[in-house]
Amino acid sequence: MDRRRDITRIPTIHDLRVKFCYICQEEELFNAPNDPPRAWTHPCTCTLVAHESCLLRWIQTSQADAARAANAMKCPQCGTKYELISNRPQILRLLGLMNRILHRTGRIVTLFGVAGMVGVFASGVYAIATIYGSWAVKQFIGQEMHGLLLSDDPNVWRWTTLVNLPSIPFALILARFQPPRLIPSIIPILLLWPPIPPIHVREVLASNAFTTPFTPSSILPADLRISRSWSNILWSWPPTPALFGFILVPLVRYVYRKAWTRLQVRVLGSIPPRELAARGQDQELPHLQDQVPENGPPALEVAEQNIATMRSSLGRRIGGALLVPWISNRMGALLLAASKHSIILRRILALRPPLQQITALVPGHVQAQGFLGQLQRKLGTMWQSTIRGSSAWVETDPVWWRNALGLGLFVVVKDTIELLHLWLATRELESRHVKNRDFARVEIRELDLVPGFPRPALDPTAQSQRSQSLPKGL
């Protein structure tokens, strides 16, 4: 009976003849134990054994490494999970639980703190961008139209206004980093606003209380003071913002670039390399291939590079982009002042006196009856928004129009000055030569001069030193 028990007894770590630690690579024979003795352990279901101290140290080291922490409590051979037995009183478990709760709470607080800081920063950027957008709109379309479309009270703004206004500074900055163009994207952005004021502003306008002294009517002759009976006219001058932004601007830009390219070739002899690379495979360049040399003047490339280096600073680009509304407003004011002396310019600018009675601008509240009535109302709205222009655009002083013309004039003057600068810089590079100096500060005896040039006499000591300094064979 005892023999059967011995046969069926399951061996343990103490029954092994040779114990080999797979961590420290040490072994121990059953009849030659270590002195002092070291505890052994068999923590898994395979044949691996190890010193208990080695295994605990290995587990702690693995848990400290994020890459190995997931497998720290597993056997590397059979994958059995290790079971640790320790003296863990209830108070220790409670403290560990509290520590884990506080750790997770701290992570949540950190997450919300970072999100709050980002939210505060984003709100600040949004507020600044919105304030700038409102200022830019007022600069470009004038105080009168700004009061009709937006007003200075953000509480009456539509949700589209709250989206469009903060996008204006970013659109200006992005347009600055695009290839050269005639007029930046500020014009389509500022002009595609709803032609009808917000409903709360309409109620104020309907009370005949809105007036503005922005455009002095004293400069307008009597024959140019346009009456308020334009609502029955199918066409109006200046063109509507939609026609201007989608048709007139691209058309003028295309014609301007073609004419400007011809002028560059005529003045510089070639298109500036950087501009040519920025345009890429432009459709308007092939007809100039016969006029442009295969390789432009080297001085032109160097001059353009030198000028572009000074103009490529980030602050200069961003500042120039954000100043576009102010520049257009100032140029429009110059055109307004110049129109006092030219009736043709006054007609081109379509100057009108400020609004005194604006009930005609407030759309009626007549309800369309039937399908034909609704269709007529929709077609009329589309016609007003695109071709003719609504009453708000037709009957107010078109400040945006003269500002747009002024901005285009500014771009032409700016491009002309830059072309003059590039031409002068190219001429200066082509005229460069190295200044030739004489040998006044050089010892004449060290020069290999032509025969017959008078040489000073050499004393015997200097002649001997010079002979020794020359290479052999000379």
Tens digit of each residue's pLDDT (9 = 90 or more) over 241-295: 777 777 888 888 889 888 988 888 888 887 777 666 666 545 445 454 444 444 4
Is the pLDDT score of 413 beyond 90?
yes
- State whether 31 and 169 are in the same domain: no
Distance CA 302, CA 316 (A): 21
Helix or strand run (H / E) with residue 264:
helix 249-268
Q: Residue 409 falls within a domain, yes or no?
A: yes
Q: Residue 473 falls within a domain, yes or no?
A: no
At residue 39, the pLDDT reads 86
Whole-number percent of the chain with pLDDT over 90? 10
Region 379-403: what's the mean pLDDT? 65
- pLDDT (tens digit, 9 = 90+) per residue, 430-473? 887 788 877 777 777 777 777 877 776 656 665 566 556 555 55
Question: Domain containing 40 — which CATH number?
Answer: 3.30.40
Region 48-63: what's the mean pLDDT? 86
Q: Residue 83 falls within a domain, yes or no?
A: no
State residue 138 phi and psi, 5-degree precision. -65, -40
Q: Residue 112 falls within a domain, yes or no?
A: no
**Most confident region among 112-126, 175-189, 217-231, 337-351 by mean pLDDT:** 112-126
Is the pLDDT score of 219 beyond 90?
no
At residue 228, the pLDDT reads 41
Q: Is 470 exposed, middle or buried (0-12, 13-18, 19+ CB in 10 A)?
A: exposed
- As a whole number of angstroms, the longest Cα–Cα distance in the chain is 134
With tokens 């980093």, the residue in question is 177
At residue 224, the pLDDT reads 38
**Three-state secondary-structure class, residue 68:** coil
- pLDDT (tens digit, 9 = 90+) per residue, 155-198? 878 788 888 888 888 888 887 777 655 445 555 455 545 444 54
At residue 48, the pLDDT reads 85
- State whether 264 and 397 are in the same domain: yes
At residue 301, the pLDDT reads 76
- State whether 121 and 29 are in the same domain: no
At residue 283, the pLDDT reads 47
- State whether 278 and 402 are in the same domain: yes
- pLDDT (tens digit, 9 = 90+) per residue, 200-209? 445 544 444 4
pTM for the full model? 0.62
**Most confident region among 34-43, 88-97, 328-337, 345-354 by mean pLDDT:** 328-337
- State whether 58 and 173 are in the same domain: no
Distance CA 70, CA 64 (A): 10
- State whether 122 and 67 are in the same domain: no
Structural domain for 417, as ranges: 117-367+380-430
Nearest CA to 140 out of 353, 326, 273 is that of 326
Considering its fold, how many domains does the chain have in total? Answer: 2
- pLDDT band at residue 360 under the 50/70/90 scheme: very low
